[in-house]
């Protein structure tokens, strides 16, 4: 479990700890730091929708907020990334004049940049939740990197399940005109613990519908090619400024 020294001390020093983590080892580690720790993962029960589960988690957090001098809530990944519960609980707590603070952590995208050797500053990086990306027909630049989160739950309005081939086919057909069928994409899933390896599957875009995905799968689509420079802008820029910008982009 990746945590900063500050996050560890906040967990250790809290009067009460709640947590939502992805594996028993992480839960045991948190509970070893603070014996008051209590898991919210028990709220993931069969038959309940995500909205119902998240609402129950927020309610539990707010009960503890009102009863506890110093509460710490730990989430797997980054607490601000795809974490409705954290944002909603903080919003409600502030309405009650409670001082709240979010401490950043390491998310799957941080590991993706490291594991795939990707520099998001080289040509830019776009990030979308996969279902939203399709439903809204999001406009994007194929000459910048594209990240699509939760491709394993495309189109499911309730509890997430592994994406079927029809969902991935829809995504593939949406991307094909921009990249072509042979453009290499990567299905990525970060390692769950320090002794495991990340899951990295490279394949042509056309083969995406037949690929295996999980709820933790992220699709990384590399840029179609180098960034295109606008000749009209070149004329307007001082050559020294252009040289400086070019050297920075290649750094």
Distance of CA 94 to the CA centre of its chain: 25
**Cβ-based burial of 20 (10 A; exposed 0-12, middle 13-18, buried ≥19):** buried
Instruction: DSSP letter for 72, please.
Output: E
Give dist(CA 219, CA 168) in Å, integer: 11
188, 115 Cβ separation under 8 angstroms: yes
* Catalytic center residues: 50, 54, 76
61, 128 Cβ separation under 8 angstroms: no
Give dist(CA 105, CA 195) in Å, integer: 19
């Amino acid at each position: 479990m990746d945590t900063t020294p500050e996050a560890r001390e906040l967990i250790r020093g809290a009067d009460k700890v709640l947590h939502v983590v992805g594996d028993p080892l992480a839960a045991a580690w948190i509970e070893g730091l603070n014996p008051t720790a209590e898991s919210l993962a028990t709220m993931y029960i069969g038959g309940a929708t995500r909205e119902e589960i998240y609402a129950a988690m927020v309610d539990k957090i707010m009960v503890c907020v009102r009863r506890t001098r110093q509460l710490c809530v730990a989430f797997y990944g980054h607490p601000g990334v795809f974490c409705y519960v954290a944002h909603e609980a903080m919003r409600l707590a502030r309405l009650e004049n409670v001082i709240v603070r979010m401490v950043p952590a390491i998310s799957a995208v941080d590991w993706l940049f490291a594991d795939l050797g990707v520099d998001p500053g080289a040509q830019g990086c776009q990030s979308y939740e996969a279902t939203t990306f399709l439903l809204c027909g999001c406009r994007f630049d194929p000459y910048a990197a594209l990240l699509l989160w939760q491709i394993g739950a495309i189109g499911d309005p309730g509890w997430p399940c592994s994406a079927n081939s029809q969902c991935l086919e829809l995504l593939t057909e949406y991307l094909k005109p921009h990249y072509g069928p042979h453009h290499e994409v990567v299905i990525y899933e970060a390692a769950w613990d320090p002794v495991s390896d990340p899951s990295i599957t490279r394949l042509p875009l056309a083969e995406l519908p037949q690929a295996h995905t999980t709820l933790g799968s992220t699709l990384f689509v590399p840029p179609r090619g180098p960034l295109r420079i606008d000749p009209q802008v070149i004329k307007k820029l001082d050559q020294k400024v252009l040289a400086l910008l070019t050297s920075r982009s290649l750094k």
